[in-house]
Amino acid sequence: MLRTPTGGAGHGTADSAGRLVSIGTVLTLLRDEFPDVTISKIRFLEAEGLVEPRRTPSGYRKFSAEDVDRLARILRLQRDHYLPLKVIREQLDGVAPGEPIRIPAPSPHSDAVPEAPERPSAARVGREELLAAAEVDEAQLAEWESYGLISEASGGGFDAESVTVARLVADLGRFGLEPRHLRAMKAAADREAGLVEQVVAPLRRHRNPQTRAHAEATMKELAGLSVRLHEALVQTALGVRLR
């Protein structure tokens, strides 16, 4: 009989006489320790390649005891160590099923939280270079700035992301979309960035240096997921309108 995985990171177990269970049963088994886990979360972890349940001929997912144990390990590593999925995958793929995962111990001086090292400045371009890259004139750039779509970095110049934004705004303009039409996109992007920052902020303040080091990777992962979700939502909305 399959039982709920318990124990510390890397020590979860799930017993079964070779029996496969449904995703609903997996959810029940995990919820005692992980009350916030959902079916969508399990499906997301599968989509990211962290767990590979079997499929019945009709397409239903079936999970083994090892799958449940792996899911429990993943959820613990996220909850207790704030590790991004890429790092979790590397950790799990490097150990045999049931083998403890060794999380590197924090530095002996980790009681004092050191300041994060200053990040090197990314390459920046000047105003003329930005105009040339986007193939627009000064009046257009000034209009974009007035709507908050583009702004100079502190210290002057425009970073690589600003160049990308400029090119995309210019491309959209060729379809008749003006800067005033894009304000909603900018506002939505600012809100999404705020949500990502809420998740990452505790990682940056964590006492464990390794956790703080993973903050940027987590931010990039969340940003990528946000972009994918935005694209999927737009495609879904367009699909509804074109039916």
In this structure, the answer to whether residues 157 and 207 fall within a common structural domain is no
Domain boundary among 93, 111, 140: 93
Report d(CA 80, CA 63) in Å as an integer.
24
Residue 88 clears pLDDT 60, i.e. is over it = yes
In a domain, 109, yes or no: no
Residue 62 sits at φ, ψ, to 5 deg, of -135, 125
Each residue's pLDDT tens digit, 197-216: 888 887 777 777 776 777 77
In this structure, the answer to whether residues 217 and 173 fall within a common structural domain is no
Which CATH number does the domain housing residue 80 bear?
1.10.1660.10
In this structure, the answer to whether residues 42 and 89 fall within a common structural domain is yes
Residue 2 near residue 68, CB atoms below 8 Å: yes
In a domain, 17, yes or no: no
Going from the C-alpha of 183 to that of each of 15, 101, 146, 167, 169, the distances in angstroms are: 54, 47, 11, 16, 11
Q: How many CA atoms, within 13 angstroms, populate the side-chain half-sphere of residue 73? A: 29
Within 8 A by CB and 6+ apart from 112, the residues are: none
Q: How many domains does the chain have?
A: 3
Within 8 A by CB and 6+ apart from 83, the residues are: 77, 91, 211, 214
3 state DSSP class of 242: helix
In a domain, 98, yes or no: no
- Chain mean pLDDT for the chain: 79
Residue 74 near residue 80, CB atoms below 8 Å: no
Residue 129 clears pLDDT 80, i.e. is over it = yes
Each residue's pLDDT tens digit, 19-28: 899 999 999 9
Residue 106 clears pLDDT 70, i.e. is over it = no
pLDDT band at 71 (very low <50, low <70, confident <90, very high): very high
Average pLDDT, integer, range 99-112: 51
- The residue among 33, 116, 16 whose CA lies nearest residue 74 is 33
In this structure, the answer to whether residues 133 and 153 fall within a common structural domain is yes
Residue 189: domain span: 184-243
Q: How many CA atoms, within 13 angstroms, populate the side-chain half-sphere of residue 72? A: 29
Residue 98 clears pLDDT 70, i.e. is over it = no
Report d(CA 158, CA 149) in Å as an integer.
12
In this structure, the answer to whether residues 78 and 41 fall within a common structural domain is yes
The neighbouring-strand residues paired with 158 are: 125
In this structure, the answer to whether residues 198 and 155 fall within a common structural domain is no
Q: What is the pTM of this model?
A: 0.48
In a domain, 101, yes or no: no
In a domain, 14, yes or no: no
Each residue's pLDDT tens digit, 48-62: 889 999 999 888 999
In this structure, the answer to whether residues 201 and 162 fall within a common structural domain is no
pLDDT band at 182 (very low <50, low <70, confident <90, very high): very high
Report d(CA 157, CA 185) in Å as an integer.
23
The neighbouring-strand residues paired with 55 are: 61
Which tokens sit at 172? 């959209």
Within 8 A by CB and 6+ apart from 216, the residues are: none
pLDDT number for residue 215: 77
pLDDT number for residue 95: 66
In this structure, the answer to whether residues 86 and 145 fall within a common structural domain is no
Each residue's pLDDT tens digit, 214-231: 777 788 888 888 888 888
pLDDT number for residue 233: 87
DSSP 63: B
Residue 4 clears pLDDT 90, i.e. is over it = no
